[in-house]
Every structure is written in C-alpha cells, then in structure tokens.
Amino acid sequence: MVFCYGCLKRGHRSKDCQKRATCSKCEGKHPSSLHKDKPVANQQISGTVTEESTNRAVDTDNSGVVPSPEMTSMIVPVWVSTQELPSEEFLTYALLDSQSDSTFISEELAGKLKARPVKTALRLTTMTSERKIVQCGKYNTLQIRRFDDERHIKLPTTFTRQIIPAHISHVATSETARRYSHLKPITNFVPPLQECGFGLLIGYNCSEALAPINFVNGGDGQPYAIETKLGWSIVGTHRSKRSEEEDEIGLSHRIVTSELCMDHNNFETPLFTKNQSKGARAR
C-alpha cells in the first residue's frame, strides 16, 4: 500500500495529498517530524554533556554525513511512555545509535507526554557557531517497549532536542527483508512502515536497548539483520524501490554539548569542566 509523506497517512502519495500537514518549525507543507534543517557543508559539532547529579560527562557522537537514500540502519518502531502513566504511550521511530552516549527525545514527542521535564541548558560548539547556548529539558522516567512486546526498557536521562536526525529511507521494513534470500526468514518479524515520525535517539548509555540478541549475515556487500530487545533492523545498502517523490527528512550531525547552570548573576556557567568532572572521558 502506498504511503503519503505529506500527511503520514496511507492510501495516496504526496503529490496527490489534499491535507498536507504544516511544519511547526518552518511552516512548510510537511509534518514537523519530517522537518530537515538546511545542511552546512562538512558541519560537525563537538563537546561534552555533563550531568550534575552523577558527576559524569557524556559525549554525544553522531555521523556527520548526508545519508544515502539506498541505505537502511538501526531504526525501529517503539512505544514510549512515562513510568507514572504507562498506559498513555505513543508510537515513534527510535534511532539506535552506537556512536552516541546520550539519549534524546524530540520536543514534539516530549510535548505529548504528561510529564514535567527538568529545565536545563546545553552549550553547543560547531564549525560555524561556538558556545551556542540552547535551552532544553530532561526526563528521568521515560520507558519504551518493542512494537510487538509488552516488556519495558527504562531509558536513561533523556534530553529534548528539536528533531531527531534520521532519514525515512533508512527505515527497513518487511519489504526490505523480502528482497534478499538470506533475510526472507525474518520477513514477518520486521514491521511495515508505520505512520509515525522520528522521536527518539537512543545512545549506548542504554546498552539494554542496543545489545544484539540475534543476527543474520549475508554475503560480502549485502545488508545484514540484527535483533535487539526492540526488534529487528536491517543495516547496509539495499536495492531501493522507493518512489523518487519521497522526501528527504533528516541529516545526522556530530553533537557535543555541555550542560549549564545559572549563577547568581544570571550568567550561564558549566556545571563541571572536563577536568573537574569525575568520569570525564578524553577524546
């Protein structure tokens, strides 16, 4: 069945959509979850996230390359909720990022949860912007579960960000598995494309979510499948059958941040410097 990226509904294509969503970030005619910031050539962000309560530094490290439309990655649909209200859950795609040691939730998805975030600030440094201060929230009681399972995984401290850097063509589906003889046995275990956006980036500080429990290898150059507690994903280059009209929706960035506090003069200062932070990790 065809899928529309203008309203995230099935049954028609984007070019025929009569009820395109309006982006809350740029007011463009696309869903907010599919918003893509304009890329900056060779952009990188580097830094440290420091947690005051645990005296530990966390680096967030994502790929800084423009994704290929013929690649799939570790992206799975999950249900997210709070521990206080587990029955009120929302379906979203989660990017399982083994190069990030922090976990993030999109502002749009966080706004749907009936939980009060702790306000904080992050200092970001990029090739085009140094010491940029951004306000965000953090949650300590989020939990997720597999698309087809009732068992929950508790997320570590989760920071909000405007968007989750992911690309719709990187989502593997049952159709992806069906194209390869070595992946056909898992066809029925890979969900079809879901009508939801990208709401979570889960780093390796949540190892329970990323740890492999099963895998299927192919020949040289072929994609492989990996199963975690959150489901199956397919990683690698594949023969894409997606329509050319489908939209690019994300760009992955290298992120480095420092969590800040406010002193009595209302100036932002780091909670800890890298040398002062217990457990700080050298790059």
Q: What is the pLDDT of residues 28-58, one digit of tens each?
A: 777 765 655 544 333 333 334 444 333 333 3
Burial of 28 (0-12, 13-18, 19+ CB in 10 A): middle
Q: Which of 170, 5, 195, 197 is closest to 106 using CA atoms?
A: 197
Q: Alpha helices, DSSP H only, in the chain?
A: 107-110, 174-178, 207-210
Of the pLDDT bands very low, low, confident and very high (cuts 50, 70, 90), residue 62 is very low
* Cβ(124)–Cβ(45) below 8 Å: yes
Is residue 230 scored above 90 in pLDDT? yes
What's the domain count of the chain?
A: 1
* Cβ(145)–Cβ(125) below 8 Å: no
Q: Which DSSP state fits 33?
A: G
Within-domain flag for 223: yes
Of the pLDDT bands very low, low, confident and very high (cuts 50, 70, 90), residue 134 is confident
Which has more confidence, 273 or 135? 135
Name the 3-class secondary structure at 95.
Answer: strand
pLDDT given for residue 259 in this prediction: 67
* Cβ(78)–Cβ(230) below 8 Å: yes
Read off the pTM. Answer: 0.64
Within-domain flag for 11: no
Within-domain flag for 3: no
247-258 tens-digit pLDDT:
433 343 445 556
Within-domain flag for 64: yes
How many helices (H) and strands (E) would you count in the chain? 3, 17
Name the 3-class secondary structure at 110.
Answer: helix
Taking the C-alpha atoms of residue 48 and residue 66, their distance in angstroms, rounded to an integer, is 23
Burial of 50 (0-12, 13-18, 19+ CB in 10 A): buried
Of the pLDDT bands very low, low, confident and very high (cuts 50, 70, 90), residue 202 is very high
* Tokens representing residue 279 in the block: 């457990």
Mean pLDDT, all residues of the chain? 74
Name the 3-class secondary structure at 233.
Answer: strand
Within-domain flag for 14: no
Percent of the chain with pLDDT over 90: 41
Is residue 3 scored above 80 in pLDDT? no
Within-domain flag for 224: yes
Q: Which DSSP state fits 202?
A: E
Taking the C-alpha atoms of residue 258 and residue 123, their distance in angstroms, rounded to an integer, is 5
Is residue 94 scored above 70 in pLDDT? yes
pLDDT given for residue 261 in this prediction: 62
* Cβ(244)–Cβ(113) below 8 Å: no
Q: Which of 106, 138, 126 is closest to 23 using CA atoms?
A: 106
Percent of the chain with pLDDT over 70: 64
CA 8-2-226 angle, 5° bins:
80
Of the pLDDT bands very low, low, confident and very high (cuts 50, 70, 90), residue 142 is very high
Of the pLDDT bands very low, low, confident and very high (cuts 50, 70, 90), residue 107 is very high
Which has more confidence, 13 or 94? 94
Whole domain around residue 143: which residue ranges? Answer: 37-270
Taking the C-alpha atoms of residue 17 and residue 8, their distance in angstroms, rounded to an integer, is 10
Q: Alpha helices, DSSP H only, in 76-119?
A: 107-110
Within-domain flag for 182: yes
Within-domain flag for 253: yes
Average pLDDT over residues 210-236: 93
* Tokens representing residue 260 in the block: 């800040």
Length of the chain measured in residues: 283
Is residue 102 scored above 70 in pLDDT? yes
